Amino acid sequence: MGSAAQPRGRACKAFCVLSEEGISIQMISSANIKTLVVIDEKYVELAV
């Protein structure tokens, strides 16, 4: 089972981690096998 089989679980984990770090998501884009988020540039190092 790859990421396409569990997209909601992985997206949820990413969103939860960003939230716990106090990083606001400015935009979300999703497709069948990927989810992209846009955050403020000042949080890039922390988010990665």
Q: Which amino acid makes up residue 33?
A: I
pLDDT computed for residue 41 by the predictor = 93
Q: Each residue of 1-48: pLDDT tens digit?
A: 445 555 568 888 989 999 999 999 999 998 888 889 999 999 998 888
What gap in Å lies between CA 29 and CA 6, rounded to an integer? 17
Residues 10, 24: contact at Cβ < 8 Å? no
What gap in Å lies between CA 11 and CA 23, rounded to an integer? 15
pTM, rounded to two decimals: 0.68
In this structure, what token pair is assigned to residue 39? 């955050």
> For 24, what's the count of Cα atoms within 13 Å in the CB-facing half-sphere?
2
pLDDT computed for residue 46 by the predictor = 86
What gap in Å lies between CA 38 and CA 12, rounded to an integer? 15
